[in-house]
Homo-oligomer: A and B are copies of this chain.
Amino acid sequence: MLLTKALRFGPAVRRLSSCSPSFPCVDAHAARESKLKQTTPRPAGSGPEPPYARPSPASYSVYHHKHPLPLTYSSQPLPSLDIAYETWGTLSPARDNAILLHTGLSASSHAAATPANPADGWWQKFIGPGKALDTDHFFIVCTNVIGGCYGSTGPSSIDPTTNKPYATTFPILSIFDMVRAQYSLLDHLAIDKLYASVGCSMGAMQSLATAWLNPERVGKVVSISGTARSSPSAVAMRYAQRSVLMADPNWNNGFYYDALPPHTGMKLARQIATITYRSGPEWDQRFGRQFRARPPSEDPSTTRTPALCPDFLIETYLDHQGEQFCLKYDANSLIYISKAMDLFDMTYPALQELKLTPSLSHPSSLSHPSSPPNLDFGLHKTSHSKSHPPPLAPPPYLPDLAKGLAPLAHIPTLVLGVQSDILFTVEQQREVADALRMAGNDRVSYYELGGVWGHDTFL
Contact = CB atoms under 8 A, between A and B. Distances in A.
A239 to B, nearest CB: 5
Interface stretch (A41-49, A203-211, A225-233): A225-233
A68 B23 contact: no
Interface in A238-289: 239-240, 242-244, 246-247, 249, 251, 253-254, 264, 268, 271-272, 275, 279-280, 283-284, 287-289
A13 B318 CA distance: 44
A76 B6 CA distance: 10
B246 A26 contact: yes
Contacts of A304: 73, 353
A289 B6 contact: no
Interface string A352-371: 01110001000000000000
A169 B7 CA distance: 23
B287 A232 contact: yes
Given A77-B9, A229-B289, A284-B231, A184 B16 contact: no
Q: Quick one: copies of this chain in the complex? A: 2
A180 B5 CA distance: 11
A231 B307 contact: no
A53 interface: no
Nearest to A356: B303
Contact of A77 (B13, B172, B272, B275): B13
A240 B271 contact: yes
A115 to B, nearest CB: 31
Given A239-B318, A387-B389, A389-B387, A162 B231 contact: no
Given A23-B246, A233-B280, A287-B232, A240 B318 contact: yes
Contacts of A305: 73-74, 172
Contacts of A166: 16
A456 interface: no
B271 A3 contact: no
A315 B239 contact: yes
A354 B69 CA distance: 64
Interface string A57-73: 00000000001111011
CB-based closest 10 A-B pairs: A233-B280, A232-B283, A232-B314, A13-B79, A17-B169, A21-B168, A239-B315, A15-B161, A9-B68, A9-B77
Interface of A: 1-3, 5-9, 13-17, 20-23, 25-26, 29, 67-70, 72-74, 76-79, 159, 161-162, 166, 168-172, 180, 183-184, 187, 214, 229-233, 235-237, 239-240, 242-244, 246-247, 249, 251, 253-254, 264, 268, 271-272, 275, 279-280, 283-284, 287-289, 303-308, 310-312, 314-315, 318-319, 335-336, 339, 342-343, 345, 350, 353-355, 359, 387, 389, 395, 397, 422, 425
Given A14-B161, A232-B289, 18 more contacts: A1-B187, A3-B187, A7-B67, A9-B70, A15-B159, A15-B162, A16-B159, A23-B168, A26-B247, A235-B289, A236-B314, A239-B310, A239-B315, A240-B271, A306-B339, A308-B336, A308-B339, A312-B342
